[in-house]
Amino acid sequence: MEEEQVFKMPLIGDQAPDFTAVTTKGTIKFSDYAKGKWVVMFSHPADFTPVCTTEMSGFAERKAEFDALNTELMGLSIDSIHAHLAWVNNVRERTGVYFDFPIIADLDMKVSKLYGMLQPNESETAAVRAVFFIDPKKKIRLIMYYPLNVGRNMDEILRVLEALQTADANGVAMPLNWRKGDKVIVPPPKTLDEMQQRLDDTSCEKIDFYLCKKEL
């Protein structure tokens, strides 16, 4: 009987699994990488493929925005370091866009399996399009998984990164479609006394005690 492989999926709130991997910027031990910074780690199915090329170019073209958010990028696919180098060079020659961040060569699928990027019913040989948002304490804060045939949205990746950081810095939550400059949600009261205080509070935009927004 064929043995079914079990892949553990990391969850929001988990400590990001540590690993050491060969990348286009040399060998990196993840726990030593980007100390004090956020990391956006993302996988793509394969080098020299069209959707992946648009996505990687998107990360590269907007790297300055990630820098401004104290965030390092890290890519991954189940390709060799030689394929990565050739692809980075080819895209730079063809388009002028340079993938100036480490890309893991995960030939033995060690990191992809650790991060649930290998989803066998989608592909047994290629990682899905995953994005992990990892905070400076190396805690996983948000996860996106996309299938092989749909590219991600760079505006949304930057939006949620900024939302996470703004929520942390201000002890608030972010409403539907929040963008920088929009009002934020004040955490709802947890006791009857707090509820009464909130009902009496005129400083925030109030629908009712449980839904109040304020400017930052």
- Residue 52 touches ligand BEZ, criterion: CB under 6 A: yes
Q: Which stretch binds ligand BEZ (CB under 6 A): 47-55, 82-90, 95-103, 107-115?
A: 47-55
Which amino acid belongs to residue 209? F
Alpha carbons 116 and 183: distance in angstroms, whole number: 35
- Residue 83 touches ligand BEZ, criterion: CB under 6 A: no
Nearer to ligand BEZ, 5 or 149 (CB): 149
What's the min distance (Å) between Cβ of 30 and ligand BEZ? 25
Question: Mind giving me the DSSP string for 75-138?
Answer: EEESS-HHHHHHHHHHHHHHHS----S-EEE-TT-HHHHHTT---TTT-SSS--EEEEEE-TT-
- Residue 131 touches ligand BEZ, criterion: CB under 6 A: no
The CA-atom distances, in angstroms, between 148 and each of 1, 86, 90, 140, 185 are: 29, 22, 22, 23, 35
Q: Which of 50, 96, 171, 181 binds ligand BEZ (CB under 6 A)?
A: 50
What's the min distance (Å) between Cβ of 91 and ligand BEZ? 13
Alpha carbons 114 and 17: distance in angstroms, whole number: 7
- Residue 121 touches ligand BEZ, criterion: CB under 6 A: no
CA nearest neighbour of 147 among 126, 123, 129, 125: 129
102-129 burial, b at 16+ Cβ within 10 Å, e below that, comes to bbbbbeebebbbbbbbbbeebeeebbbb
Is 212 marked active-site?
no
Give φ, ψ of 207 to 5 degrees. Answer: -85, -45
Question: Which three-class secondary structure state does DSSP give residue 144?
Answer: strand
Nearer to ligand BEZ, 30 or 59 (CB): 59
Binding mask 145-164 for ligand BEZ (x = CB under 6 A): ---xx---------------
The tokens describing 166, both together, are 């703004």
- Residue 107 touches ligand BEZ, criterion: CB under 6 A: no
Q: Which of 17, 45, 75, 102 binds ligand BEZ (CB under 6 A)?
A: 45
What's the min distance (Å) between Cβ of 65 and ligand BEZ? 23
What's the min distance (Å) between Cβ of 50 and ligand BEZ? 4
Active-site residue (options: 16, 40, 52, 128): 52
CA nearest neighbour of 195 among 209, 206, 185: 209
What's the min distance (Å) between Cβ of 148 and ligand BEZ? 4
Would you tell me which residues interact with ligand BEZ (CB under 6 A)?
45-46, 49-52, 126, 148-149
> Which active-site residues does the annotation give?
52
